[in-house]
Every structure is written in structure tokens, then in C-alpha cells.
Structure 1
Amino acid sequence: MPTDPRPATPRPTRTANAKGQAFKQERALRTRRLLLDAAAEAFADKGFPGVTILDIAELADMTKGAVYFHFANKEALALALADEFYERLAHLIDTAQKDSSTPLNAVTTILTRTATAFRDDKTIQAGARLQVERAYIDAALPTPYTAFTTTLTDILTQAHQTGQLRPTCDPHTLGRVLTSAFFGAQHISWILNNRTDLPERINDILRTTLHPNQT
């Protein structure tokens, strides 16, 4: 029996059925993404206590039933957003370190890029507000600020070991100070100016603490 000499053509991956409808799993993932984006906007703008499931459903242009199909309650949405908040921060920090030539430059890049994210990214804004409002959320949210402080301290320790900091500078103290200054500045900027001036405030902090010769 003769064989066909032509190479077999791989079948294309199907993403929809014969009617052009996306498979359920992909449709569910898109729906979940839309709900998380809507929840981020709602929590960032109104705060956890002031948001209802109906608010989130209306922002996503869905029914309350669609929300409850993916998330058991408002707390589940808050937990999912908090997890994504920390994932985005971790990715931002990792990318900033890879893009930096020295440990001290990495700290500067981390803080400036994080400031921009706090200004522009609704998920980051929602995560920050959920940190502040954790007492109102009946769920075990991750402990805030500790990982950020540890990361800065580790990088500042490298900077100290390579002679980029003053010999008398304590990286652990500086890490705590920078974390406090950053999150304090973002809160003040949020209250006074809706974070529009946050990058400028962070640059002021960096010039004063890490780059005093530039002031």
C-alpha cells in the first residue's frame, strides 16, 4: 500500500467550537479576569467595606450569579487580588534587579518602578488599599510590608558589601526606613493627589537617602 510522501500537517489547536464559541475553560478564565479587574477598580476607588458583589457585577457587566460562580464571596475576591498584588510586586522587583547594573541602582529602580505602578495600576492600588483595610476583611491576607522590607535589606546588604554605602550605614535600618518612607509617601500622595505626584515624592526620598550628592 503506497504511503503519502508529504509530511503530516499538525492539526491546529482548537480554541472554539464549530459555532465559533470559545471552549468553557478559556471563557471561564476570561470571565474571572474581567471580574478581578472590576473588583480591583471597585476596591481601589471605594474600599472593601464600601463595595458590594452587585457593584463588582455591574462594573464587569455581568450578573451576581456570575460573580458567585467564580468567587464564593467578597473576601475571596479580596484574597485573589491580594495574591495578585504581591505577585506583581515580586515580578516588578525581579525585573528591576535584572535590569540594574549594581545593587544600589537596583534599589533605585525598584522604588521608582513601584511608584509608577502604584500610580497607574488598579490592581496595585487595590492591593495597597486592602492592606490598609485588612481589619475589615474576614480572611487571612498575607502580612504586608515584610517581604518588601526583606528584599530591600538584602539588596542594600549587597550594596554595603561592595562599598556602595557608607561604612557606618546599617542596611537593615536603611531597609526599614526606605520601606516606611515609600509606603508613607504613597499613602500621602494617594490622599492628597490621587498618587499623581508619587514618582516625584519617591525621587525626593531617593535623593535624600541614597543619592545625597544629587540634592
Structure 2
Amino acid sequence: MPVTTLEKNTETQNSIAMNPEVERQDLVSTAAKHLEPFCFSYRFTDAMLMGADVKTVGKYLDAHQGWFTRCAQPMQVNALGKNGYDLTIGRFSSFGYVVEPKVGLELLPQESGVYHIKTVEIPNYTAPGYDVNFNAQMRLVDTVDGDRLGTKIDWDLDLRVFIHFPKFIYKLPTGVIQGTGDKLLKQIVNRVSKQLTHKVQHDFHGNLGLKIPKG
């Protein structure tokens, strides 16, 4: 996945020297530990139409060991137990700071047509200067297209990312850091969600020989 870089503020760009060759671990180690991490957040909602009844769609989603691994590509995915995954989102940078976030996710069994996804720890892994809080749910809703039953999957995500930046980042105006981080997080979520929706729809309908509903 390519590096995503937001446009730098010209004033701060000239006033702060950055060495792109510095290792990520070294950048994190220079972070001012007494300073509070920045919290970037984004709430996201979307919906996906499936050309089959709720029972059929639910059976597909329950077998996430197959579709999740296939549809998450090109992100790197490793299984964590029965319902968990170690997911590498990609490589991103802003203001010369590079991060390749990983997150552990658990896909909980459905409860009356509702699925919850939450953050879990990745064994033997310490995130270098960041922490992710991922809470999402999917709700299966009956739909009707003529005389054909279908399903709408409503998707809600509440995502928060806490980052301890290197000291030089804290020299920037707080509003610039906050606005840039929130914008980058929004771009990442929108792109990943669009890709995942597209792949899940094609994977589900392709396996069952069904047409993807319009809309």
C-alpha cells in the first residue's frame, strides 16, 4: 500500500529540520513522554447491499476465516486464535513522521443479526508510539427487491488513534497537528472501507453465483 502524505504547512516546513533516514524506533524514543499523546478520531457509517436473505448472508459472515483473509488483501492478515486477526493497515506519513500501523481485531459471533468488532492485543507486539481503539458493528436488515429477498448490512465504526509523536512534531501548532491527523485518518478509513466493501460484495456474490444488487 503506498505512502500517503498530507501537504505540509510551508511555514513549519522551513522552520523544522527532519531527517527521513532516522529509524522509526529512534523517532519514537525521542518522544517527550511527559507530553500527552494526540488523539485522532473518526466516526464512520456506511451500508452494503447483498442479493440474498439475512440467513444466507449471516452464514457467510459467520465463516469469516475465509472471506476476511481474502478480502482484506493487500493488507497483511494473520490469524489470532479463533476469531481474531493481526492486521497491518499500510504505511503512512505526515510531517516527515512515518508509521505502519498494526491492529488486532476480534470478530465476535453475531447476536440476533448484529456483529461486533473490537480491538484486541497482538501477542508479543508493542506498538511503536501509538495505540488503536477500534469499535465497530454490522447489522443485518431484511430488504425486498420485487419478489426477491435481500439484505442490507449497516456498518458503524468508532475509531480512535493515540500517537506519541517525536519532540519536533510538538513544535507545530496544535491545530495543525490535530487537523492533519484527523484528515489523514478519515482518508485511510474511507479508502480501506471502500476497498473492503467492493471485495466482500464480489466474494459473496461470486461464490453463490448471484448478481450484485444496484444501489
Q: TM-score range by the shorter chain?
A: under 0.3
Higher relative strand content: 2
TM-score, scaled to structure 1: 0.28
Task: Mark the structure with the bigger radius of gyration.
Answer: 1
Q: RCO higher in 1 or 2 (8 Å CA, sep ≥ 6)?
A: 2
From the two aligned structures, give the one with the greater helix fraction. 1
